[in-house]
Amino acid sequence: MSEKRGRAAVVVLGDIGRSPRMQYHALSLARQASLKVDIVAYGGSDPHAAILEHPSICIHRMTEWPKFTQNLPWVLRCLMLLLKPTFQFIVLLWYLCIKIPAPDLFLVQNPPSVPTLVAVKWASWLRRSVFIVDWHNFGYTLLGLSLGRGSRFVALYRWFEKHYGQQADGSLCVTKAMQHELAQNWGIRATVLYDQPPEFFHPSSLVEKHRLFLKLDKDLRYFEGIRDCINHGSGDIKTEERSDSLFTTTTGAGIAEKSNRPALIVSSTSWTPDEDFGILLEAAVMYDRRVAAILNEDDSEQEEVFWDRMNNGRQYLYPRLLFIITGKGPEKEKYEQKIKKLHLRRVAFRTMWLSAEDYPLLLGSADLGVCLHTSSSGLDLPMKVVDMFGCGLPVCAVSYSCIEELVKVERNGLLFSSSSELADQLLALFKGFPDECDALRSLRNGAIETRSSAAWASEWEANAKPLLLEVTSQNSS
């Protein structure tokens, strides 16, 4: 691949820090294909340190569409919908055709499809480069969530996506189901490259857990406008005086996990309509009420008295649950307001955004992952679950058409179709926590086996690299 220019351009019309698969592509192109890599994307969130520190990778952060346009009157916003893709198209062409050196290949993330695929196709023609699409999903199905599948605009978007997708020199996709759809209905031959976590996703050691929980202690114990089973009594101790965290303690023998610690559940979300976060809130309410009924608790008992017993080390058949919800997105504030109105006795929520280095540590420190991704097309798999398995974290995920390509029921996770089903799974998995929950332990072992069975580098070497070699050699001959 180095016989021509020895360069590749990775193109993302989005925040590169929130595009893990394209970050991994960039690393593989630099490490395994020995190419110099130019990433053309938006800023916002920092990518992983491995990207920033690699001498052969350069990030070019494009100028973004002004955010003030979101607050314009409705009529002007409609006009902006036409101007925005034109602005993005011009900026993309400027970077792809002038700002970066001519590459051997352009590797572009889809979606979004408009104007990305058009701009990259034009740039590849002008610079005599290979044009490769990595299909994460279909852009027209995402657009259909807001406009409706019957919209003429959605139909036009689909035409652009299909037309320019067919003009690519090669294609990668994330599932066998998507590969079949592309072949049968789009006339596109794609190679399946399953998402795999890179090496920095792994189960956290006890020392790593302790350091992370101390670092996050303030965010976990203090949540504005909410009093719950986690932050009750936290005001008595100054943060700087803490040597223990919510989950770990220091002893003469070293660091140990607390026997009455909450169960830690992590859910990563983009806070978008294709993830119904209400399912998780309803399941939390059901867990809270069902445990109270099972234990025949007195609902009239004051919450402060109940929480005092919990914090003083009393063991319960079912633990407190702490849900940490990570991510950024448009519906975050709406759900945060809903969370504040729940008033649960043994369940608490925290929302936060973690650095690229802390996020894997959190997954590796958690007891369970929850995935609410349903896929607008029904043909893609959630990268967040891949990352969870990389950290040996078992998962409860929403069931849809191709999710079983990733989640193996009762081996590394469970599938649910309703909030009631998820509540039942939480009850079954956490009964007797932390020492007597055999079902959860079995799923964790399965997640660790899943982690050890494959890695991104080997998957990329076996599937992506041969495709890149084939199309670049054809282009140079």
Q: Is 78 helix (H, G, I), strand (E, B) or coil?
A: helix
Least confident piece of the model among 44-58, 73-87, 421-435, 463-477:
73-87
Residue 456 amino acid letter: W
Pick 402 or 452 by higher pLDDT.
Answer: 402
Contact 197, 235 (CB under 8 A): no
Question: What token pair was written down for 296?
Answer: 């025949």
Global pTM value: 0.82
Backbone phi, then psi, for 436, in 5-degree steps? -120, 35
Strand extents, DSSP E, 111-212: 130-135, 170-173, 191-192
Considering only residues 256 and 272, tell me which one the structure prediction assigns the higher pLDDT: 256
Token match 């050196």: residue?
A: 101
pLDDT at residue 224 above 80?
Answer: no
Query: Is the model's pLDDT at 245 over the cut of 80?
Result: yes
Strand, coil or helix: what is 224? coil
Do you know the residue count of the chain? 477
7 residue type, one letter: R
Q: 275-304: buried (b, 16+ CB within 10 Å) or exposed (e) per residue?
A: bebebbbbbbbbbbebbbeeeeeeeeeeee
Of residues 45 and 168, the one with the higher pLDDT is 168
Max CA pair span of the chain: 80
Confidence of residue 77 (pLDDT cuts 50, 70, 90): low
Is 433:440 a contact under the CB 8 Å cutoff? Answer: yes
Rounded mean pLDDT of 100-119? 96
Q: Which residues, other chains included, contact 160 with Cβ-Cβ below 8 Å and sequence gap of 6+? A: 113, 114, 117, 118
Q: List the alpha helices (DSSP H) in 14-100.
A: 20-31, 49-53, 74-94
Look at residue 257 and tell me whether its pLDDT is greater than 80. yes
CB contact at 8 A, 119 and 89: yes
pLDDT value at 189 more than 80: yes
Per-residue confidence (pLDDT) for residue 477, from 0 to 100? 62
433-444 exposure pattern, b = at least 16 Cβ within 10 A, e = fewer: bbeebebbeebb
